Structure 1
Amino acid sequence: MDEPAEIGRRVQRMRTELGLTQRKLAEPAYTPAYVSTLEAGKVRPSEAALRYLAGRLGTSYEELATGRPAGLATELRLALTDAQQILASGAAGEAAVHYRRLLAEAEDLGLTDERVGALLGLGDCALETGELPAAIGHFEAAERLLADEPLPRRARPIRGRAVAHLLAGELRYACYLLESTIDELGASGLADPEALVLLYAAVIGPYIDMGAHARAAHAAELALALAPRVTDPALVAGMHRQVARTFLTEGRVADADASLAKAQAIYGQLQLRTDLAHCHWMRGYVHAQNGDLTSAERELRTARDMLSAGRAALYTAQVEVELADVLRRLGRYEEAAGLLSALLALGDSHGAVHAGGAHRLLGLMAEERGACDSAEEHYVQALALLERSGATGDLADLCRLLGDLLRRAGRTEAALDAYRTGLGHRAAPGTTTLGPAPAAPAFPHHPPHPHHPASR
């Protein structure tokens, strides 16, 4: 709301343009003296008073309070849902152009919620295109705008920032961000289900990479238990967007806002599809650890299809590392090698852990067909990648593989060096160095903690 003097001048100008006296404008709800005082800028009008006067003046409360034409904020929100739809279709670059324009418009108009929406969209676009420092900057800016809001409102930018750090190979910091937010949600009594699905699902990746398999399995089960079930949300969201456009052309701003709120909620659920895919990936991993390769392949393909049908090319490649391992164990080497080649074609700058995993699997397959020199080359490349990322559990396993290969070749000293390196990185199964696992939220309907045999 503008300052009282500015509102007063606006009321006086509109009243004069309509040829109304102060008495005609005021009655029956208010007195002419109140209107006179308001027009002089000597009183800050209540929302109820402004809504009454707006109706008498033939304008909207928003325009009378802020000077912005009626429906301008609604049109901006409609444009944000359009950009969300473009991003959901896979066109991250095109969506970013829209989000940048909308951010500038929202800043000019002083619309905080719309600024947050544009920043979150820009962050998601940057994640998809691998521009991780830019993504972190956008999410941090959104967090600053939401600093005074309840924690569930800040879950999306926190999750986005954590994912960016994860993709940059900063596993421990990603874990810290997500675990501390989950704990804070539980301690504050603000255990919002959607916020928890975002956070639980996002923490699966760093848990796996750090060897905390039991925590990852538990987080996946919690996320899947809380996740909403949506059949074909994209069609419903599109319908609500079109309905909002119709309402807006008819001047029915409140109805348009209501339709847009429904569309935005569905687009939020669409973004959860990436997180739910991570949960299916985790289930596939657990099946693979337990030797049920058929179920593992089914879950991993489900995760891959959910990701590739959307916009998450980088995540798709990451899931394919696990799928390639299952295919290797099933004896389907050519199919496994094809998946790994696709991942390595992306480069390793934004996914060192998963590029390292791809080289490890290629090394295993080379070793199994007797190509020891090629296997050693892949293991050494994997070792360099994993040392950079801090993935301690994978490092220990890789050093064992490399040491065994060198020992069989008679290179005892080199083998001992590899084993020593692995011992230096060994972590206890199912743990991180970050302290206790996050506490589960206190939902009345929450299932008991499963004791999942996921650690090795």
Structure 2
Amino acid sequence: MDEPAEIGRRVHRLRGERGLTQRQLAEPAYTPAYVSTLEAGKVRPSETALRFLAGRLGTSYEELATGRPASLATELRLALTDAQRTLATGSAHEAAGHFRRLLGEAERLGLADERAEALLGLGDCALEAGELTEAAGHFEAAELLLAGEPLPRRARPIRGRAVAHLLAGELRYACYLLESAIDGLNAGGLADPEALVLLYSAVIGPYIDMGAHARAAHAAELALALAPQVADPALVAGMHRQVARTFLAEGRIADADASLAQAQAVYRQLRLRTDLAHCHWMRGYVQAQHGELASAERELRIAREMLTARRAALYTAQVEVELADVLRRLGRHEEAAELVSGLLAEGSGPGAVHAGGAHRLLGLIAEERGEAKAAEEHYVRALALLERSGAGGDLADLCRLLGDLLRRAGRTEAALDAYRTGLGHRAAPGTTTLGPAPAAPAFR
């Protein structure tokens, strides 16, 4: 709302244009003296008074309070929806240009909600482009704009920040952000189903990467229970995509594939191309775990092609790590090594967890070629990356590989050290160092 003097001048001008006296404008709810005081800028009108006067003057409350026609905010929201559609079906680079323009327009008009939506869009564009620091900054700025809003309204920027930190390999901090928000929603009686499904779905990935499978399964169970209360089909599809990871961790291959098929059908219908590519990626991973290597290669190549077309560099690099592993298992070592070495040489890289996976893969290829020294170097590099990110499950497997390599070389003490390190990461399956798990929502 503008200052009283500005509002008073606006009321005086509009009253004159309509040919109304102060009495005609004021009655029956107010007195002419009140209108005179308001027009002189000596009183700050309440929202109720302004809505009454706006009705008498044939204008909107927004225009009377701020000088902006209500249609401007509506037009801006429609333009933001169009930009979101461009991000979903077209180019993230093109969508980012639209969001930047709309952010400037929202700032000029002083529209906080629309500024927040534009920042969220810019954050999503930056995630797709692999610009993680920039993405985190946009999400943080959106969260600050919404600081006075209820926690459910802030769930999207919190989730965005967490995803940016997860992709950067900061698993524990990603968990901290998501768990804190989940606890805040449940403890504060703000158990908004859509916000909770968004956050529970987002926390599954870092839990699994950290080896906290019990927590991941519990988050998946709660998300599935809340899903019938969620109206957004894309949000439910994203939940099914993440729940598939918990099924896979439990060895429930058919259930994982069924969840991905549900998500894939929705993404195809809504033309959400990046999300659809993620489904192909995940299905390729499921098939690889089940030994269906030819089908896995086909799904991963589809995902890689779709993500490359969208210039999603970080996600493309991560898919290439999975694809290279399939190629290795198919006996195509040269092709696998070339693919992985190429992506590690690029500036952006695949993120700490996947970079660790890439070095692990190069170590396996070196072992299979009889190059023990090169294998050890890659395993040690992978170990450093995974320790920094806290990816407990992958660390345990890597320590086993390194220990076996050292034992075969007769370096028994070094092998034992590697095994002990791995056992340390497997000592408490299903837990993390983050303290108690978040409280569950109170279901009616």
Superposed pair shares fold, TM > 0.5: yes
Match of 1:383? 383
| Matching residue of 1:125 | 125
Q: Distance between the aligned counterparts of 1:129 and 1:306, measured in 2? A: 23
Choose which of 306, 326, 351 in structure 1 pairs with 2:289.
326
Distance 1:112 1:310 in 2: 29
Question: What is the TM-score of this pair, normalised by structure 2?
Answer: 0.79
* 1:142-200 residue CA offsets vs partner (Å, 9 max, x unmatched): 22122222221221111111111111101111111111221222211111111111111
Counterpart-to-counterpart distance in 2, 1:12 and 1:23 = 13
> Which residue of 2 is the match for residue 279 of structure 1?
243
Show the counterpart of 2:48.
Answer: 48
TM-superposed CA distance for 1:76, in Å, is: 1.2
**Aligned AA for 1:373?**
E
Q: Provide closer, same or farther for how the CA distance between residues 307 and 396 of structure 1 changes in structure 2, counting only shifts above 3 A.
A: farther
Amino acid at match of 1:166: L
**Aligned-partner Cα distance in 1 for 2:265–2:362:** 23
Q: Tell me if 1:215 matches 2:179.
A: no
Alpha-carbon distance in 1 for matches of 2:362, 2:275: 24
Verify the 8 A CA contact 1:167 1:351 in the aligned structure 2. yes
Tell me, in whole angstroms, the C-alpha distance in 2 between the residues paired with 1:14 and 1:223.
52
**Matches of 1:20 and 1:102, distance apart in 2:** 38
Offset of residue 67 of structure 1: 0.7
Provide the secondary structure at the position in 2 that maps to 1:82: helix
Distance of aligned partners of 1:193 and 1:13 in 2 relative to their CA distance in 1, 3 Å threshold: same
Task: Confirm or deny that 1:373 pairs with 2:349.
Answer: no
Q: Residues 167, 112 of structure 1: CA spacing in aligned structure 2 closer, same or farther, 3 A cutoff?
A: same
Structure 2: distance between partners of 1:311 and 1:280: 17
Partner of 1:197: 197
Is 1:79 the counterpart of 2:61? The answer is: no
Contact 1:126–1:134 (8 Å) recurs in 2: yes
The residue type paired with residue 276 of structure 1 is H
Please, which runs of 5 or more residues in structure 1 have no aligned partner? Answer: 231-264, 445-456
SS in 1 for 2:371: helix
Instruction: State which drifts further: 93-102 or 358-367.
Output: 358-367
Query: Does the 8 Å CA contact 1:212/1:430 hold for their aligned counterparts?
Result: yes
What percent of counterpart residues are identical?
Answer: 72
Distance 1:301 1:95, change over 3 A: same
Deviation per CA, 1:16-69: give whole Å up to 9, x if none. Answer: 233333233334444333322221122333333323332333322211111112
Cα distance in 1, alignment partners of residues 255 and 20 from structure 2: 76
Q: CA deviation at 1:442?
A: 0.7
Q: In the aligned structure 2, how far is the partner of 1:351 from the partner of 1:31? A: 67
Which residue is 1:69 aligned to? Answer: 69
Q: Are the equivalent residues in 2 in contact too, given 1:321–1:354 (CA < 8 A)?
A: no
Contact 2:237 2:264 in 1 (8 A): no
Structure 2 Cα separation of the partners of residues 84 and 64 of structure 1: 31
Query: What is aligned with 2:273?
Result: 310
With over 3 angstroms needed to count, the CA separation of the structure-2 counterparts of 1:229 and 1:179, relative to structure 1, is closer
Cα deviation for residue 407 of structure 1 reads 2.8
Q: Trace 1:12-411 onto structure 2 (pairs within 5 A).
A: 12-228=12-228, 266=232, 269-271=233-235, 273-287=237-251, 292-299=252-259, 309-312=272-275, 319=282, 322-323=285-286, 325-327=288-290, 329-330=291-292, 332=294, 335=297, 340-341=322-323, 344=340, 349-357=349-357, 360=360, 371-373=369-371, 376=375, 379-380=379-380, 382-408=382-408, 410=410
Task: Tell me by how many angstroms 1:318 deviates.
Answer: 6.8
* Contact 1:393 1:427 survives alignment (8 Å): no
The one-letter amino acid of 1:280's match is: A
CA distance, structure 2, for counterparts of residue 353 and residue 314 of structure 1: 20
Q: 2:173 and 2:16 mapped to 1: Cα distance?
A: 61
CA separation of 1:36 and 1:282: change in aligned 2, threshold 3 A:
same
Q: In 2, are the aligned partners of 1:284 and 1:300 still within 8 Å (CA)?
A: no
Amino acid of the structure 2 residue aligned with 1:422? G
**Aligned-partner residue type, residue 281 of structure 1:** R
User: Partner letter of residue 323 of structure 2?
Assistant: S
Contact conserved, 1:277 with 1:306, CA < 8 A, in 2?
no
Give the SS at the match of 1:311. helix
- Range 398-407 or range 8-17, more displaced: 398-407
- Which stretch of structure 1 is more off in the superposition, 36-45 or 180-189? 36-45
Q: Is the 8 A contact 1:403 1:415 kept in 2?
A: yes
Tell me: CA distance 1:197–1:23, structure 2 relative to 1, closer, same or farther (3 Å): same
User: What residue number does 2:314 align with?
Assistant: none
- Structure scoring higher RCO (CA < 8 A, sep ≥ 6) equals 1
1:240-276 CA-to-partner distances (Å, cap 9, x unmatched) read xxxxxxxxxxxxxxxxxxxxxxxxx85xx53553343
Q: Secondary structure at the match of 2:273?
A: coil
The Cα RMSD (Å) is: 3.3
Bigger mean CA offset, 355-364 vs 176-185: 355-364
For residue 289 of structure 2, what is the amino acid of its counterpart? Answer: V
Comparing 421-430 and 86-95, the one that deviates more: 421-430
Change (3 A) 1:334 1:84: closer
**Alignment length (residue pairs):** 401
